[in-house]
Amino acid sequence: MTVLVTGAAGFIGFHLTRRLLERGTPVIGFDNINSYYDPTLKTARIYQLQALAKRTGSRFHLIKADLKDRLAVEKSFEIYKPVQVVNLAAQAGVRYSIDNPTAYLQANLVGFGHILEGCRQHSVEHLVYASSSSVYGGNINLPFSEHQGVDHPVSLYAASKRANELMAHTYSHLYGLPTTGLRFFTVYGPWGRPDMALFLFTKAMLAGKPIQLFNNGKMMRDFTYVDDIIESLIRVLDKPAVADASFNPTEPDPATSWAPYRVFNIGNSNPTELMDYINAIESAIGATAIKEYLPMQPGDVPSTASDTTALEAWIGFKPNTPVKEGVARFVAWYRDFYSV
Query: Catalytic residue numbers?
Result: 157
What count of other Cβ atoms lies within 10 Å of the Cβ of residue 92? 24
CA atoms within 13 A on the CB side of 130: 27
Q: Is the peptide bond before 178 cis (omega within 30 degrees of 0)?
A: no
Phi-psi region of 238 (alpha: psi -120 to 50; beta: other; left: phi over 0): alpha
Angle at 262 between CA 94 and CA 132, to 5 degrees: 10
The two most distant CA atoms of the chain are separated, in Å, by: 59
Rounded Cα gap, residues 290 and 231, in angstroms: 35
Query: How far is CA 340 from its chain centroid?
Result: 28
Contacts of 199 (CB under 8 A, 6+ apart): 192, 193, 334
Q: Find out whether 29 and 9 touch, Cβ atoms under 8 Å.
A: yes
Candidates 48, 231, 38, 40; CA nearest to 29 is: 48
Query: From CA 290, how far away is CA 212, in angstroms rounded?
Result: 9
* Separation in Å, CA 39 to CA 34, 51, 88, 215, 323: 7, 18, 17, 30, 27
- According to DSSP, the β-strands at 187-188 and 224-225 are parallel
